Amino acid sequence: MSATNPILDFAFGKIDRDLAFVMGCFRQVLQEQGETELAEHLPWSAGDSMAGETQRLAKGTANLRDRDVQALSIAFQLLNMVEENAATQARRLRESQHGVLEESGLWGGNLKAIAKAGFTGAEVAAALASIRVEPVLTAHPTEAKRSTVLEQHRQLYLLLVKRENQMWTPAEQDEISAEFTVGLERLWRTGEIRLSKPDIAAERRGALRYLREVFPDVITRIDARLQTAWREVGFDPALIADVRQLPKVTFGTWVGGDRDGHPLVTAKVTYESLHDLRRSALALHAGNLRRLAEKLSLTESLQTPPAALAAAIGARAAALGEAGARALARNPFEPWRQFVNLMLARLPDAGDLPASESTRYARPQELADDLRLLRASLIELGAGRIAVGEIDPLLRSVELFGFHLAVLDIRQNSAVHEKALSQLLTAAGIAAADWPSWSEKERLALLDTELRTPRPLAHPEANLGAEASMVLDCLRVVASHRSAHGRDGLGALIVSMTRSLSDLLTVFVIAREAGLVQQVADPAHGDGLASEFPVVPLFETIGDLEGSADIMRAYLSHPVTRRSLALQSKAVGGVPTQQIMLGYSDSCKDGGIFASQWNLQRAQAALSALGRELGVRLRFFHGRGGTVSRGAGPTNRFLEALPHGSLTGDLRLTEQGETIAQKFANQLTATFNLEQLVATTTATTLHQRGDAPDFSDVYPVLARFAERSRATYESLLAADGFITYFSEATPIDVLEHAAIGSRPSRRSGKRTLADLRAIPWVFSWNQSRHYLPGWFGIGTALEDIHREDPKGFALLVARTAQWPFLRYALSNIESNIASVDDGLMSDYAALVKDETVRTQIGGRIADEYRRTKRMLELVFGGTTLTVRRPRLVQTLAQRDSSLRKLHAHQIATLRRWRAARAASDPGAEAILQSLLLSVNAIASGLRTTG
């Protein structure tokens, strides 16, 4: 513990106290179930959460029963809850003792820094209105827990928080403890692993729960916290009194739209996803209106309704006929309630087709207009407090969630588009069966010709190939939804593995077949075709990132792009904005962690400069995963590390797999994470409007760092025996049998490293405690610079302390290194049968680990992690002994399973279930999957 940080001491002490409570409850459950020995061997006994743990579960660590593994898995899940609650309560304590302005990363700390930098309240208010942040929920298969288990975790967490209230009597505290113990027994009796892969409908239900039940309330909370911090910093509250002045926090989803290597995402699935999103949004608003009607019990006998409200009630009731009469009859003499009843009657059904003569709301703006009329009537009465407290949250909800809840992106691989276009051209009588082998010049010549005419290539009833039919069926669903409900709810057409201009222009030609492009008159860029849907490149590999600026220069200069941007900006009343998605996972898998980070940094800087040159606002979409190897890291540090000028206040970023539950399952944690995202986006956007700090002197050193680390990383992957080592020293074969997501682990099913997705790649290295993608090559590169260019190394050290990007990148790498265990790496390496491969590859990895650890200590001035990162050290130490037992068990079970499979033993399936349980338990202990 730190004697100089009382808040940290409080958090550590709270972890110990709460662990004693939850493990006591768990021990009681096990004893009652007859598991007396297991209960006695649970980790973290009361009052001895660190020292005594090493003595427990000591017997048979390589041959644990499934129930032992499940017990440790639940113990880790309880520890995770305790740590989450301790972090929340520590923040609350800090805010109580020091004030809201002292909480860095949130509204208070950010507004204080903005004001200190000289920005006025009016300048900040103007910036707030332009902020647009959009988290995008994906169904990437990294969530190892069943949805029913996640819900039970949530209920247990709520009980843990409930204990924080000091008002409970001892008897009431006992009741809470009893309820917690009941929940634990339920969790103990619930299966830990999925027996079958979740289908897309289940994944969609999971995403909808957050979108409908979590985020609306969280946005209300962060709005209130903004207004509190705004007053505390001394800005005029009137500047942000209108909810339209607040940042736009909207949401996206890929569930039902991401078809990159996912054959189960059919056109029917996309239709169902769009329908369910719309239905859920309308249910959200209906529930809000019903609660509002309960609260607006103002009677006309005590106040006269304003004329505008009375007139609107009469007009709406007359238009609705019988439904209007029922709405009035429900609450006689209470006109405000009557008006809300009429609003409820005007809500459309999920499948309604808007029509000009319809009495129902065709667009969410009509609902917002009625809410504003209601608000104005309350203001006129002098009931401003009621108007702000009851109407403003609903206005905000309608503004942000509309009738669509979240936008659905459509993602497809450029290789699939290639095949689809080839089939369309062939159907049109154009000899293009070999389209994938055409040169870029030949492709562009044909595409430019096609994009000069609205004429489709194929008749709607034409018999097309599999890829063309699949792509067109999906886009026709999008077109049909657009015709029925407008553009709201429809996101971007994202092209994964974008490697050329033709990859993007191909989408326009295919979209034309589905009716998603239109002929427009554009005096600035010439009349012709344009798309109202953004066509978005996804640059994933290091090579793609390096070429991204050249591709985007050609793309943003193309007439069809310029017309499309003009059409899209006209629809939203904004400036031309091009979205660009950046892939963190594949670039790291491709060339290692620092080469990935450096090339992402340089690509964003080059693209931002290009956008300014061409007069196009760029909206970067960051495809971050849940681990350092896939772009994870503290959100506020990530935003602060972005290249100067790249953050325009408009960004998207993915929330994937297990990070969704970790960040948003519980309201206080969700509020913290979303507030941190929006507040730091606002502050960083404002700071980036100033002069850019110049760190260009270290660029040559970092270029060398990236090049050398990448070469070291790539040479390992290309080394003889590496694939054998990876296949045998990690549980990759187990993970490919795990039912943790509906999407396959390989893009096309080929048994190659290139075809393997980044998630199982990272997941398997993490399980075996190598964490290899997040650090390998770093030590060699730093050592070379230190030896051959001491001045350059000294400059790198100095800039690490000064430059947020470099500090963020190296701190994340250090976090990965801290999670590596060289002893366990050696234990997993022992699974490799070929001694030469085991010695050469395993030895090479171990040497690089020691080198990287040593060099990072030099970069950070020789201080230990215990001094600089006490919370990280405590978190790892708390888990160490129990994790070792699980790893030993997994290694022994892997040997048995592989031997059984090799012998075609029918018992292999039962062993696999034990292995999958160990995967879940270790993932719970590490708090990470892939």
Give the C-alpha separation, 307 to 335, whole Å.
11
Give the C-alpha separation, 28 to 925, whole Å.
22
Residue type, 529: L
Q: From residue 443, how far is each of 422, 438, 514, 572, 922 by CA, in Å? A: 11, 6, 21, 33, 49
Nearest to 55 by CA among 892, 925, 913, 882: 882
Which residues are CB-contacts of 12 (< 8 A; sequence separation ≥ 6)?
1, 86, 874
Task: Find out whether 284 and 397 touch, Cβ atoms under 8 Å.
Answer: yes
Q: Which long-range contacts (CB under 8 A, 24 or more apart) does 21-25 make?
A: 21/163, 21/177, 22/78, 22/81, 22/82, 22/160, 22/180, 22/184, 23/75, 23/78, 25/177, 25/180, 25/181, 25/184
Locate all alpha helices (DSSP H) within 189-266, ordered by sequence. Answer: 200-209, 215-233
Task: Find out whether 501 and 554 touch, Cβ atoms under 8 Å.
Answer: yes
> Which residue's entry shows tokens 């400069």?
609
Residue type, 268: K
Give the C-alpha separation, 636 to 684, whole Å.
9
Say if residue 751 is exposed, middle or buried (CB neighbours under 10 Å; 0-12, 13-18, 19+). exposed
589 is catalytic: yes
285 is catalytic: no
Give the C-alpha separation, 711 to 705, whole Å.
10
Nearest to 619 by CA among 659, 579, 592: 579
Catalytic option among 14, 589, 622, 663: 589
Q: What is the largest CA-CA distance in the chain?
A: 92
Which residues are CB-contacts of 638 (< 8 A; sequence separation ≥ 6)?
622, 624, 808
Task: Find out whether 371 and 398 touch, Cβ atoms under 8 Å.
Answer: yes
Task: Find out whether 671 and 113 touch, Cβ atoms under 8 Å.
Answer: no
Q: Residue 783's CB: how many other CB atoms inside 10 A?
A: 18
Structure tokens at 919: 């995967």
Give the C-alpha separation, 315 to 307, whole Å.
12
Locate all alpha helices (DSSP H) within 210-358, ordered by sequence. Answer: 215-233, 267-295, 307-320, 322-330, 335-346
Give the C-alpha separation, 101 to 109, whole Å.
5
Which residues are CB-contacts of 32 (< 8 A; sequence separation ≥ 6)?
185
Give the C-alpha separation, 759 to 777, whole Å.
20
Catalytic option among 14, 140, 417, 770: 140
Q: Coil, helix or strand for 749? A: coil
What are the beta bridge partners of residue 620? 580
> In this structure, is the dihedral angle defined by the CA atoms of residues 366, 372, 377 and 380, taken in order, positive or negative?
negative
Task: Show which residues are catalytic.
Answer: 140, 589
